């Protein structure tokens, strides 16, 4: 992907996000992002046990 294509994709994504915000405000919907903790609690997500960082000698 060229630099110009990446810039064009970014601008298009930003334009779409702006339009979604406008439509949401017209509908009276929230445009705020959800809190990670709120989503985690609603999904009853848990941290999987046994996940840890280990130092590996080189």
Nearest CA to 22 out of 9, 31, 12 is that of 31
pLDDT at 47: 67
Band of pLDDT at residue 38, cut at 50, 70 and 90 = confident
> Has residue 36 got a pLDDT over 90?
no
Residue 17, φ and ψ in degrees, nearest 5: -65, -40
Q: What is the mean pLDDT of residues 46-51?
A: 66
Residue-range domain boundaries for the chain: 3-42
Q: Does the pLDDT value for residue 4 go beyond 80?
A: yes
Q: Name 39's Cβ contacts closer than 8 Å, sequence gap at least 6.
A: 45
21, 23, 27, 31 alpha-carbon torsion, rounded to 10°:
-10
32 or 6, higher pLDDT: 6
């Amino acid at each position: 992907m060229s630099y110009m294509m990446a810039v064009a994709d970014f601008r298009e994504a930003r334009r779409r996000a702006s339009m979604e915000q406008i439509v949401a405000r017209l509908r009276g919907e929230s445009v705020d992002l959800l809190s990670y903790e709120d989503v985690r609690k609603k999904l009853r997500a848990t941290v999987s046990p046994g996940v840890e960082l280990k130092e590996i000698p080189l």
